Amino acid sequence: MSTVAILVTHLLGTGHLARALTLARAFAASGHRAVVLSGGRPVPHLDTREIEMRQLPPLQSDGVNFTRLLDGTGAVASAAYLQNRQERLCGSLADLAPDVLITELFPFGRRVLRAEFLAALETAQHRPRAPLICASIRDILAPPSKPAKAEATADIIRQHYDAVLVHSDRDVTPLDASWPVSPDLAARLCYTGFVAAPPARPHPDGLGAGEVLVSAGGGNVGAEIFAAALQAATADPTRPWRLLIGGGDSAAQIAALRQTAPPNATVEAARPEFRQMLHHAAASVSMAGYNTALDLLQTGTPAVLVPFDAGGEVEQRLRAEALTQLPGVALLPSAALSGPALLEHVRQAISAPRRPARTDGLDGAAETVRCVTRLLEQRHAG
C-alpha cells in the first residue's frame, strides 16, 4: 500500500476540491492510503465521508482577484498567517512521508501560492525516500499571458515533477489547445480521460422532477445568473424553478433572493443530492465548470451554460463551446444574460432531442491510479 498525498487549494469555486476528492476515493478503492491536504475553505455540501483530510488554515480569493488572498475571517491574509499555513503544510508532509505527492493545478496555476507549493515540493524531495511527484490538471487551462509564465512553469516541472496528469481526452481537448507543450513537457504527460465521480442514481423521491435547476457551484459567484433566473421564472409561472445557492455568503443571498422570488421558484442552499436531482430535471442552468460539464454528460439533462468569464477567464467559454455541439446544450454569454434571454434558451434546450447519458471516457480517476501505479513500478524497477 502506498500513501498518496493530494495538495489542493480552491480559491473561488469548489471544482478543484471536488476533483481531488474523486481522485482520493479512487486511490483508496485501490488499496492505497489517500490523504487530501486542503487549503481552501471548508465546503459543507461536498461529501468528504471516508476520506482522510487535513485542513490547512483556509484561504480564498477576493472575488475574481486571485492575487489578493483572504484568510478564514475574510481579512487580507497576513505574512504571518501564510507562514503558519506553510509550516503546517510542510509538517503534514514530513509526518505523512508520502510515496506519491500530487499537486492540483500547480505549477500551471496558483502562482500566487508559488512559495508555499515550492516549500512543499522541497520538503517532500528532501525525505530519505523522495516521493513520485505529479501535477494534476483539468482539460482546459487559463493560457499563460506571457511566454515567461510558461517558461517558469516548465522550469518547475523539470526540477520537481515526474509526470503531469491531464484529466481529459487527448482527442477531445489536448493540452496544447490552451497551453504551449514543449517536447520536454510532452514526454511527461499522461492523459487519464475525464475525472468524473461515479454516476449518481436518480433521486429515490424524484426530487427536482420537472424543475429548472439553477446552480453556480459552491463559490461566491453567480449572482447575475440567479437574478436572471428569478426574472425567467416570473415569466414562466407554470414551471417550477429551483435555485441552489452556494458560497460563504449563501444565507444572506438566499434571504435576499427569496424577497423577489415568484411562487413557482424555490430558493435554497446547495444540496448534496444535486447530481441525483439532475436525472429528473426539465433543464439545468449553470456555469460551465469541469465537474458541472461532466454531471451534465452523465445525465443527459438539457442545459443552458452561462460560462464564467469575469477577470478575462476563457476556460469555461472554450468548454461551453465544445459542449454546444451536443443536442440540448445552449450557450448564453454573460454579456447577453437577462431573464427573457435565459427563458428562451431554456425552452430551446428542453425542445431539442434528448441526448443519451454518456458512460465512456469518464473513468479518469481509475486511469489516474493506473498511471501512477505504472510510474511507481517503473521507479522501483529502475
Query: What is the average pLDDT across 4-29?
Result: 94
What average pLDDT does the structure give for the chain?
Answer: 93
pLDDT band at 219 (very low <50, low <70, confident <90, very high): low
Q: Is 90 exposed, middle or buried (0-12, 13-18, 19+ CB in 10 A)?
A: middle
133 Cβ contact partners less than 8 Å away, ≥ 6 residues apart: 100, 101, 102, 103, 121, 124, 125, 160, 161, 162
Pure H helices in the chain: 15-29, 79-96, 114-125, 147-160, 183-186, 223-234, 250-258, 274-278, 290-299, 315-323, 339-351, 364-381
For 269-305, what is each residue's pLDDT tens digit? 999 899 999 999 999 999 999 989 999 999 999 999 9
Q: Is 224 exposed, middle or buried (0-12, 13-18, 19+ CB in 10 A)?
A: middle
For 39-56, what is each residue's pLDDT tens digit? 999 988 788 888 999 999
**First and final CA of the chain: distance in angstroms?**
19
Cα(346)–Cα(369) distance, rounded to whole angstroms?
38
The C-alpha cell 494534476 sits at 136
pLDDT at 381 over 90: no
pTM, to two decimals: 0.83
pLDDT at 177 over 70: yes
5-14, 56-65, 214-223, 279-288: segment of lowest average pLDDT = 214-223
Cα angle: 82, vertex 87, 375; to 5 degrees: 110
pLDDT at 311 over 80: no
Q: Give pLDDT, residue 318.
A: 87
**Total H helices, total E strands in the chain:** 12, 14
pLDDT at 260 over 70: yes
Q: Give pLDDT, residue 61.
A: 92
Query: What is the average pLDDT across 129-152?
Result: 93
Q: Give pLDDT, residue 218.
A: 61
The answer to whether the CB of 217 falls within 8 A of the CB of 287 is yes
Q: Is 148 exposed, middle or buried (0-12, 13-18, 19+ CB in 10 A)?
A: exposed
336 Cβ contact partners less than 8 Å away, ≥ 6 residues apart: none
Cα(141)–Cα(313) distance, rounded to whole angstroms?
10
Query: What is the average pLDDT across 73-100?
Result: 96
Omega before residue 107 within 30° of 0, cis: yes
- Give the Å distances, CA to CA, from 285 to 14, 18, 100, 235: 17, 20, 38, 16
pLDDT at 36 over 90: yes
Q: Give pLDDT, residue 382.
A: 66
Cα(173)–Cα(300) distance, rounded to whole angstroms?
20
- Give the Å distances, CA to CA, from 160 to 91, 165, 181: 19, 14, 17
Helix (H) or strand (E) holding 244: strand 241-245
Query: What is the average pLDDT across 26-32?
Result: 96
pLDDT band at 171 (very low <50, low <70, confident <90, very high): confident
148 Cβ contact partners less than 8 Å away, ≥ 6 residues apart: none
Q: Give pLDDT, residue 221.
A: 73
pLDDT at 143 over 70: yes
Q: Give pLDDT, residue 313.
A: 79
DSSP one-letter string for 249-294: THHHHHHHHHTT--TTEEEEE--TTHHHHHTT-SEEEE---HHHHH
Q: Give pLDDT, residue 246.
A: 87
Question: If DSSP codes are grouped into helix, strand and coil, which group holds residue 180?
Answer: coil
pLDDT at 328 over 70: yes
What domains are there in the chain, each with its CATH number? Answer: 3-197+362-381 (3.40.50.2000), 212-351 (3.40.50.2000)
